[in-house]
Amino acid sequence: MSDHKKLLSCWHKLEHFSPADAPKASENFVEVLPEREPWKIPLNSSNPEKTIKYSIFLGVFDSSIVNDFVKKYFNDKRVNENFRSSKICYASLKLDIDGRYIDESFGISTLPWALHQLENGKIKNDNWELAFQKIEEDLEEYIDLKFKSTFTDEFDTVTEVSRILSNDQLINLQNKVEAVCKWSVKPEKEIYLKRFEKFIPKKKTEKKPDTDILNSFYRKI
């Protein structure tokens, strides 16, 4: 492999080690997932033109765990005075006011999976994007299976409807994400919930929601 291809390959892999930030539990409208699902209370928006939605952050843990893992892996005993710990997460998704999954709102961080590649000597493999894409597709299939119901009417029209989710279903998804990433470190994790309000679209052609986790665009190059 030429030097410039080695450089591009290295840069491409480094993009997979970017963490996915989670909000602080102390922020307004952010909390650790409560025992009772708030969408089952239910809550109402303060503005009749708006609706309530929820961002769910799965597998929230302290970034210092990653820092310690990397330092131990490379036998780095130096002290980084500039390191500041923060909350990062494995994955995220959005729910509507009723607690139903919003299509195409799921996102998964590349970081835990990339750390598994590192510790298993796969840093030189050139199929990272395809391998991670397969994980994303498998998780989307899991969500379709566990979070949605399919109905067929008298005209044989198939309709797919998201179910109202429970805390157990979110915990199961969190465990599924951790399992497919295969990172040997299993940090103590929490699920964070962030409540926000959004204007109700006047047209049905509303743009599909973006995920809270935006992995680097360059990892797909």
State how far the alpha carbon of 56 is from the alpha carbons of 20, 24, 50, 221, in Å: 13, 13, 19, 29
203 versus 180: the higher-pLDDT residue is: 180
Residue at token pair 């909000």: 23
Distance, in Å, from the CA atom of 66 to the CA atom of 40, rounded to the nearest integer, reads: 35
Residue at token pair 């302290």: 62
Residue 209's pLDDT band (cuts 50, 70, 90) = low
Give the amino acid at 157. T
HSE-CB for 98 with a 13 A CA cutoff? 7
Residue 213's pLDDT band (cuts 50, 70, 90) = confident
Beta carbons within 8 Å of 52's beta carbon, 6+ residues apart? 39, 43, 44, 45, 97, 195, 196, 197
206 versus 35: the higher-pLDDT residue is: 35
Distance, in Å, from the CA atom of 137 to the CA atom of 118, rounded to the nearest integer, reads: 22
Domain extent listing, the chain: 35-220
Q: What is the pLDDT of residues 80-97, one digit of tens each?
A: 888 889 999 999 999 999
11 versus 132: the higher-pLDDT residue is: 132
Across 1-5, 34-38, 48-52, 84-88, least confident range? 1-5
Question: What is the CB neighbour count within 10 angstroms for residue 206?
Answer: 11
Res. 219: pLDDT tops 60:
no
Percentage above 90 pLDDT, the chain: 62
Tell me what the pLDDT averaged over the chain comes to: 87
Alpha helices, DSSP H only, in 52-166? 64-73, 111-119, 128-147
Residue 118's pLDDT band (cuts 50, 70, 90) = very high
Distance, in Å, from the CA atom of 37 to the CA atom of 29, rounded to the nearest integer, reads: 14
Distance, in Å, from the CA atom of 218 to the CA atom of 221, rounded to the nearest integer, reads: 5
Q: What is the pLDDT of residues 133-143, one digit of tens each?
A: 999 999 999 99
Residue 207's pLDDT band (cuts 50, 70, 90) = low
